[in-house]
Structure 1
Amino acid sequence: MSTDELFTNPYSPWMNGSGMDGDVVLSSRVRLARNFSDIPFPNRANLAQLSEVKAMMQEILPELEDITDKPYQCLPIDELTNLERKVLIEKHLISNNHIENPEHRALVVSDDRKVSIMINEEDHLRIQCMVSGLDLAVPLELASKIDDTIESKLDIAFNEKMGYLTSCPTNLGTGLRASVMVHLPGLVFTQQIGKIMNASPQLGLAVRGLYGEGTEVIGNIFQISNQLTLGFNEQEIMDNLTSAVLEIIMHERAARKALMTYSAERLSDQVWRAFGILKYARSVSANEALSLLSKVRLGIDTKMITEVAAKSFTELLVSSRTNYLKNLQENENLSQNEIDKERAKTIRETLEKFKVVRE
């Protein structure tokens, strides 16, 4: 995939819906925080030191390509347009924090988009691997291979007592942050989501919005991740998160079953109204789109709607976003009315693209 396609093609591997428990879990991601010895953390480093970090990573890109058998690109954040930076956030490749001070920040991304490495975000390196469905083992294995290669070539900050040294104390130890993106309309509609939110901190988990820390929950999509890494090994972190997510999956499916049993007519009306609006509307706002898409996806997962594939939902999580649409039009100054019209058009075309053809 070319650099241009990175900003104009919404697809990423986590969208394909092939993973386990894909009716509830959209994706699984593993992120490793790493820093170089003898170089201050990014928030304390000067521009020369930040530049040195970026140069060191560019030198070992061929080594990383040998692991995944895929080429990598290194995109300097300060050379991207404002819209391109925001599209990368909407595609879950970088964070909001990564674009605040773009000079000497960069993104290393594999051609298949399964691997992305943020350079000079909160830490020198944030190694990220993302897959479809509930499967933390595969991204952890890939991230660990990349980490091992980097450590074999460069000196990583590590302390025998505290483990990997990171800019945020909550990442000390393994430096591992595992997260799972889940779609929980059943728990939201039955007003049980509060129990999940309240219980999560007691289990050492954080529950956040679609784009992670500091973002709102829209479209009934949540990101669930481990809060602490110090004092736990990688397997313990993975097992704890997986166990909690499996419990949430069970409750979500029970909530959907209850809706189908006791509120079938009301649910059917909401699902088909949402589908009708998205299929025919000529103007749709960003938050309205995700709210309606959530209902349509619930209709697909409960077999109410059989004429469109579930993959339409995950693709539209990117292709219906405001900055993605502005970038496609190469116009940052589109009016709200123009954006909402483009969004409605994109949704109509995507639903048609993923229409299920029956023989």
Structure 2
Amino acid sequence: MEIRYRPILESLVPPDPMSQFKLKRRSPEEEFPDLCRNYTWMGRILTPAMYCRQFNRCTHSGVIFDDVIRPGIEEPGDCSGPASVGCVAGDAQSYILFCDFFDRIIEAYHEHKVTNQTPESDCNFDNLKGGDDFDTTYAVHCEVSAVRGIEDFCFPTHCSRGERRRLLSLARRALQRLEDELPGCLFMLEELNPEQQKKLNLNPPSYSQLRTGVARDWPDARAVWVSKDGRLVVWVNMEDHLRLVSARDDANVAEAFKCICINLQRLEEYYRELRHPFIYKQQLGWVTSSPADVGTGLRVNVYMKLRLLPQHKRLQDVLKRLRIHMNKTESLTVYRVSNAITFGLSEVELTQLVVDGVKLLITMEKRLEADQDIDKLVPTQK
């Protein structure tokens, strides 16, 4: 991996990039973190040799490798749940400069090889089959979201106050253009009262966000844009530069996906005209601060009422084969079903994966309610 990128790496890094910071660090061997009880992908993949290779590298905006792995060191996870990536990119250059680390993280998390080919993209919502015909007894509501990073700016974990305010200014101009097609209103977070924040499902920054720097200067230059019809919400400078969310109470994934695709393409055009396009890497697709979102940046969540299936012994096997996740919500009988990956499949294919999975889970729940076996419905590995 490093050999492939060596000409690029050498052109990006001055001879001694760390000398400008005067950091009082010891040798890489002495600085190597304790990963004995670390259950993140970072903890599984990082070796002393790899750490040594990254140790003296630094992006132009000042991101060093210790900044990249800090989240996984501070939150090592546990062995019971799915492993998090355990790392963040401080800027887009991090994915190139630390490519031999990030590529392995992406391949392990998404279970898809990073190649020289450009990832396939398909935002043609007409290619989606189904998604508007769920049994609403089981499928309660849905949410489709997409994240994007803006070229020439550091990601929220590393950006300055000035950068964040400049990003807000760009978002304001782009969203004003969007209002020509979809009327809406931009709200600054500091101007929202507790009742408005609750209505928007806005929670105070978590301890993790504060420690990793995502929530620095909160709520300075954070905003939310809401369309008048309630179909679309755009978060600005939260965990990512931009996050578009389309939520529906009728669990119509097809309409939510259509809303995201149309408005994402509009905003992409507006930002390009502002000379700050969305960040795209040839071998990775769309990239943001988290390697867990590279490729499409797309998340499809369907909230389901399930009573018997969550206790079934073969559930985890079913979820793994469908390549979807199921997580508990605050309600005892409502579960969130979502795509497990964002890289390696197109936007339509990822959404189709969730749609097909939800239909199968509903069929299984109905069979269990009728005291019938579901073993024959368990899919082969995709």
Q: Secondary structure at the match of 2:304?
A: strand
Question: Per-residue CA shift, 1:277-335, capped at 9, x if unaligned?
Answer: xxxxxxxxxxxxxxxxxxxxxxxxxxxxxxxxxxxxxxxxxxxxxxxxxxxxxxxxxxx
- CA 1:72 to 1:197, structure 2 compared with 1: closer, same or farther past 3 Å? farther
Q: Which of residues 189, 192, 205 is equivalent to 1:80? A: 192
Give 1:273's aligned residue: none
- CA 1:243 to 1:44, structure 2 compared with 1: closer, same or farther past 3 Å? same
Give 2:325's aligned residue: 206
- CA 1:95 to 1:234, structure 2 compared with 1: closer, same or farther past 3 Å? farther
Asked whether 1:170 is paired with 2:266, we answer no
Q: Distance in 2 between matches of 1:94 and 1:156?
A: 27
Q: Secondary structure at the match of 2:303?
A: strand
**Superposed displacement of residue 242, structure 1:** 1.1
Asked whether 1:233 is paired with 2:346, we answer yes
* One-letter identity of the residue aligned with 1:107: V
**Superposed displacement of residue 248, structure 1:** 0.6
Q: Secondary structure at the match of 1:42?
A: coil
Question: Per-residue CA shift, 1:333-356, capped at 9, x if unaligned?
Answer: xxxxxxxxxxxxxxxxxxxxxxxx
Q: Which of residues 147, 154, 157 is equivalent to 1:33? A: 147
> 1:94, 1:118 within 8 Å by CA — same for their partners in 2?
no
Q: Distance in 2 between matches of 1:27 and 1:58?
A: 30
Q: Distance in 2 between matches of 1:27 and 1:95?
A: 24
**Superposed displacement of residue 110, structure 1:** 0.9
> 2:138, 2:305 within 8 Å by CA — same for their partners in 1?
yes
* One-letter identity of the residue aligned with 2:154: P
Q: Which of residues 135, 139, 150 is equivalent to 2:256? A: 139
Q: Which of residues 292, 301, 325 is equivalent to 1:179? A: 301
Q: Secondary structure at the match of 1:67?
A: coil
- CA 1:96 to 1:120, structure 2 compared with 1: closer, same or farther past 3 Å? same
Q: What is the percentage of aligned positions where both structures have the same residue? A: 23
Q: Distance in 2 between matches of 1:118 and 1:37?
A: 17
Task: Tell me the matched-pair count.
Answer: 228
Q: Secondary structure at the match of 2:283?
A: coil
Give 2:240's aligned residue: 123
Asked whether 1:159 is paired with 2:273, we answer no
* One-letter identity of the residue aligned with 1:29: E
* One-letter identity of the residue aligned with 2:246: C
> 2:231, 2:259 within 8 Å by CA — same for their partners in 1?
no
Q: What TM-score, normalized to structure 2?
A: 0.54
Q: What TM-score, normalized to structure 1?
A: 0.58
Give 1:6's aligned residue: none
- CA 1:85 to 1:96, structure 2 compared with 1: closer, same or farther past 3 Å? farther
Give 1:105's aligned residue: 222
Give 2:43's aligned residue: none
**Superposed displacement of residue 81, structure 1:** 3.5
Q: Distance in 2 between matches of 1:181 and 1:136?
A: 11
- CA 1:249 to 1:206, structure 2 compared with 1: closer, same or farther past 3 Å? same
Q: Distance in 2 between matches of 1:234 and 1:113?
A: 23
> 1:21, 1:133 within 8 Å by CA — same for their partners in 2?
no
Question: Per-residue CA shift, 1:121-146, capped at 9, x if unaligned?
Answer: 22101111122444322222211111
Following superposition of structure 1 onto structure 2, how do residues 313-332 of structure 1 map, counting pairs within 5 Å?
none
Q: Secondary structure at the match of 2:135?
A: coil
Following superposition of structure 1 onto structure 2, how do residues 41-56 of structure 1 map, counting pairs within 5 Å?
41-56=155-170
Asked whether 1:57 is paired with 2:171, we answer yes
Q: Distance in 2 between matches of 1:245 and 1:157?
A: 32
Q: Distance in 1 between matches of 2:234 and 2:263?
A: 10
Backbone CA RMSD of aligned residues = 2.6
Asked whether 1:246 is paired with 2:359, we answer yes
**Superposed displacement of residue 52, structure 1:** 1.4
Question: Per-residue CA shift, 1:188-225, capped at 9, x if unaligned?
Answer: 5xx32x64345424432222233xxxxxx423111111
Give 1:314's aligned residue: none
Q: Secondary structure at the match of 2:200?
A: helix
Q: Distance in 2 between matches of 1:233 and 1:254?
A: 32
